[in-house]
Amino acid sequence: MKKIGVFLCHCGINISATVDIEKAMEALKDYPGVAHIEDYKYMCSDPGQQLIKKKIKDLGLDGVVVCACSPTLHENTFRLTVKAAGMNEYKMEMANIREQCSWVHKDKTVATEKAIKIIKSVIEKARLDEALDPIEVDITRKAMVIGAGVAGIQTALNIANSGYEVILVEREPSIGGKMAQLSETFPTLDCSQCILTPKMVEVSNHPKIKLMTYSEVVDVSGFVGNFKVKVKRKATGLDWDVCNGCGLCTEKCPKKLPSEFDQGLGERKAIYRPFPQAVPNRVVIDFENCTYMQSGKCGICQKVCPVKAIDFDKEDKFVEEEVGAIICATGFETYSVKDIPEFGGGKLPDVVDGLTFERILSASGPTGGEVRRPSDGKVPKDIVFLECVCSRDPEHYLPYCSKVCCMYTVKHAMLYKHRVHDGQPYVFYMDMRTGGKGYEEFYQRAAEEDKVVFIRGKVSKLYQDDDKIVVCGVDTLSNETIEIRADMVVLATAIVPSKGIRELTKLLKIQIDQHGFLSEAHPKLRPVESLTAGVYLAGCAQSPRDIPDTVSQASGAASMVCTLFANEKLKHEPIIVGVNEDICSGCGICTVVCPYDARKTNLEKKLVEVNEVLCEGCGACAAACPSGAAQQNNYTDNQINAMIKAILGKGG
């Protein structure tokens, strides 16, 4: 019989306060297969690990059961421990008597009984464990970053500066994202353009970064270290290799349209560059609105172009790239004012969202940085800012806090006051959330030095009355209803994931939460990884966050990619599901249930074949297989049956 060593951890008092360790040891010491049993206060500590190593060597153990926390936390720790003592690391098993036992029970007697059952079942599993070796895979040391806002830019630069190649994909004609639209940034009030544009230039000049703007990811296959990504390079109507970005065409084009970059306040042409500092400095034709494309008449841009770059070619091009890691940094949008009927539903021109106000404040914006309202260009003297618009409102809109609105609203009110000295800004807030370095001081400064009036309470309605916007609200500190006749209102609308995120996550096979934000592998310990190996997250695509947090997370994601690329070969978990060719009939049921496309039916051989690298060991196929041909390594039917028997008290 195999010799199993059982090691019980007290986890301080996390386990021992609820599970009677002594009693458990007494009950287990004569269980079949148990060659040694021992407890220690902190098994994961160095003395604890040394203890396990010593017993493996001294007693020549065949398997180890560590009775402690969840394998999510320390399976890897103890695998390394037993490996160091010369044992195959897959013969170490964790019995989770903390999360699944001591933490969820109060009654010590019951918890102890349950812990004993859990441990017995894991001993049964350990007795049948086989020695396994990790599967080795080659790796392509090139990364793809999807989304070129500040998150994507930072990630790309970090990876590229570490010496690896990066492809940076952006669906807009220019990189820069939302940050390029911002005026000044809290809490230091440095100009967004001044800190972002040098990074944009660095990206475009970097020898290791290949920029693909006006492009979208349309297909992803493969697996960590070996992804194949198909990218659609949208037709621009001209040859970017020939275009020199002189901009003569945009001057001469007669067709005027609202500028997306200026949130519809300014104008652009049908052939345009989103903003003067765009990277790359190239133009695109808006086919839907181009007179020549619609009627065949015009073609002025073609006539004036000094380098003859314009060809009106409407054909999208597709390219395939091989990369080892993908970073999803697709950013955010703000909840549309059109969908908020109580605040005018987008029909009141002087009710704008925060991003629009950024453009009004921006030196490169449609008003050159002068605060003027959209309807008639007047300087607003009474301006009201509403926070938590659609955020923190589970009844009607979204339950979560959008995190950045408190700070940017304070900044808006402050910048407004700096430009309109005789104006009065009012802010309606629910709670001021100003956690962050220098943030609370910034808020205090706005209230004390810039005389911003902060009103705690919500606004129920906005309506137009003559040339005023009437703000109907309540001050919940004095319990009085308030009406302010404002010249302009700015809504801090909720942050939502950018459009298309659902489609993209399907391609990448990564998860999103109920609001469409990307799900991280672990909320605390693996915040920049997705659950799919080789796919990482950065920026607001994961959850609302400000620029400092975004840049930190982007660097974190880049460092994870570099860690991956530092491996000689990739090691893939051997706990996968193979095929017993003697039993498999090739029915293909397992191929249908496999979420990773790891299983394919070979019709000639009438067998299912497995791509071991794609298999994540979820076991769906093993459960579905009608004949038992699909058995998961170290989770065979025999092992699971033995575990169940042990739990039901029929083991041993």
Positions that interact with another protein (CB under 8 A):
341-342, 345, 347, 461, 463-465, 470
472 contacts: CB under 8 Å, gap ≥ 6:
459, 460, 461, 462, 463, 481, 482, 483
Q: At closest approach, how far in Å is the CB of 342 from another protein?
A: 4
Query: DSSP character for 17?
Result: T
Question: Considering only CA atoms, which of 323, 294, 302 is closest in space to residue 253?
Answer: 302
Q: What's the length of the chain?
A: 652
Residue closer to another protein by CB (options 126, 462) is 462
Query: DSSP character for 498?
Result: P
Residue closer to another protein by CB (options 54, 347) is 347
Q: At closest approach, how far in Å is the CB of 376 from another protein?
A: 17
**Is residue 262 classed as helix, strand or coil in its secondary structure?**
coil
Residue closer to another protein by CB (options 107, 342) is 342
Query: DSSP character for 378?
Result: P
> What is the DSSP track for 309-350?
-B------EEEEEEESEEEE---EEE--GGG-GGGTTT--TT
Cα(636)–Cα(118) distance, integer angstroms: 18
Residue closer to another protein by CB (options 461, 569) is 461
Q: At closest approach, how far in Å is the CB of 463 from another protein?
A: 3
Longest dimension (CA), the chain: 93
Q: Where are the beta strands (DSSP E) in 438-585?
A: 453-456, 459-465, 468-475, 480-486, 488-493, 495-497, 535-537, 570-572
Q: At closest approach, how far in Å is the CB of 462 from another protein?
A: 8
Q: At closest approach, how far in Å is the CB of 340 from another protein?
A: 8
Q: At closest approach, how far in Å is the CB of 214 from another protein?
A: 37
Residue closer to another protein by CB (options 62, 350) is 350
Residue closer to another protein by CB (options 76, 460) is 460
Cα(340)–Cα(337) distance, integer angstroms: 5
- CA geometry: angle at 614 spanning 612 and 617, to 5°? 75
List 459's β-bridge partners, or say none: 473
Q: At closest approach, how far in Å is the CB of 265 from another protein?
A: 22
**Is residue 635 classed as helix, strand or coil in its secondary structure?**
strand
Question: Considering only CA atoms, which of 328, 323, 317 is closest in space to residue 507?
Answer: 328
Question: Considering only CA atoms, which of 159, 160, 162, 179 is closest in space to residue 548?
Answer: 179
Residue closer to another protein by CB (options 42, 463) is 463
- The number of angstroms, rounded, from the C-alpha of 356 to the middle of its chain's C-alpha atoms is 25
Q: At closest approach, how far in Å is the CB of 465 from another protein?
A: 7
Residue closer to another protein by CB (options 254, 345) is 345
Q: What is the CA radius of gyration of the chain?
A: 31
Question: Considering only CA atoms, which of 499, 546, 541, 170 is closest in space to residue 354?
Answer: 546
Q: At closest approach, how far in Å is the CB of 387 from another protein?
A: 19
Q: At closest approach, how far in Å is the CB of 438 from another protein?
A: 38
Residue closer to another protein by CB (options 163, 345) is 345
Q: At closest approach, how far in Å is the CB of 461 from another protein?
A: 7
Q: Which residue has the tokens 């609203």?
A: 409
Rama region for 392: left / alpha / beta (φ>0; ψ in -120 to 50; rest): left
Residue closer to another protein by CB (options 267, 339) is 339
Q: Where are the beta strands (DSSP E) in 138-278?
A: 142-146, 165-169, 184-185, 190-191, 209-212, 215-223, 226-233, 256-258, 267-269, 271-272
Strands 382-389 and 424-429: parallel
Residue closer to another protein by CB (options 145, 469) is 469
Residue closer to another protein by CB (options 345, 438) is 345
Q: At closest approach, how far in Å is the CB of 379 from another protein?
A: 25
Rama region for 50: left / alpha / beta (φ>0; ψ in -120 to 50; rest): alpha
Residue closer to another protein by CB (options 107, 339) is 339
Q: At closest approach, how far in Å is the CB of 493 from another protein?
A: 15
Cα(235)–Cα(316) distance, integer angstroms: 5
Residue 56 has φ and ψ, to the nearest 5°, of -60, -45
